[in-house]
A and B are shown apart, each in its own frame.
Chain A
Amino acid sequence: MVRQVIVGGGTAGWNAITTLREIDRGDSNIVLISNESPYSRMVLPYYLSKEIGESQVFTASKTRLENLNIELKLGKDVKELDSKNSKIVLEDGEEVDYDNLLIATGSSPVRPPIPGSEGKNVSSFWTLPQAREVTSKIKKNTRVTMIGAGFISFTILNALISRGVDLTVVEVEKHILPRMLDEQGAKIVSQWLVSKGVDVRVDCKVLSIDDYENEKLIKFNDGTEQKTDLVIMATGIKPNIDWLTDSDLNLDEGILVDKYCRTNISNIYAAGDVAKGIDIVTGKSAVHAIEPTAVQHGRIAASNMSGKEVSYKGSLLMNILDVFGLEIASFGAWDEEGSDTILKANLSRPSYRKMIFDHGRMVGSIAIGLGDDVWHTNDIGMLRGLIYTQSDLTDWKDHIKRNPFDIKRAFLASGSVGKLLSETLVGIPSVPEESITISS
Chain B
Amino acid sequence: MKVLKIIPQKCTGCMRCELACSYEQTGTFRPSKSVIRVSAFENHTSYAPYTCPQCDEAWCMTACPIEAISISSSEAKEIKDDLCVGCKLCTIACPYGTIFFDPETHKAFKCDLCGGNPACQKVCPTGAIEYVEVDANSDWIGSFANDRSKGPSGPLVLEVS
Contact = CB atoms under 8 A, between A and B. Distances in A.
B98 interface: yes
Interface in A397-440: 398-399, 408-409, 411-418, 420-422, 424-433
Interface residues of B, number: 55
Interface in A363-403: 371-372, 374, 377-385, 388-389, 392, 395-396, 398-399
Given A380-B91, A429-B136, A430-B58, A417 B85 contact: no
Interface string B82-112: 0101111101111111111101000000000
A414 B96 CA distance: 12
Nearest to A56: B66
Interface in A194-208: none
Contacts of B151: 395-396, 398-399
A40 interface: yes
Contacts of B148: 409, 412-413
Given A320-B92, A388-B95, A422 B58 contact: no
At the interface, is chain B mostly helix, strand, loop or mixed? loop
B77 A414 contact: no
Contacts of B95: 381, 384-385, 388-389, 416, 420
A415 B140 CA distance: 11
Interface residues of A, number: 67
A417 B96 contact: yes
B56 A424 contact: yes
A381 B98 contact: yes
A157 interface: no
A46 interface: yes
Contacts of A389: 95
A230 B85 CA distance: 26
Contacts of A411: 97
A413 B141 CA distance: 9
Contacts of A377: 88, 91, 99-101
B2 interface: no
Interface centre among B62, B97, B137, B139 (most CB of A within 10 A): B97
13 contacts: A42-B65, A42-B87, A42-B89, A59-B65, A378-B100, A381-B92, A383-B97, A385-B97, A388-B95, A412-B145, A412-B148, A414-B145, A424-B57
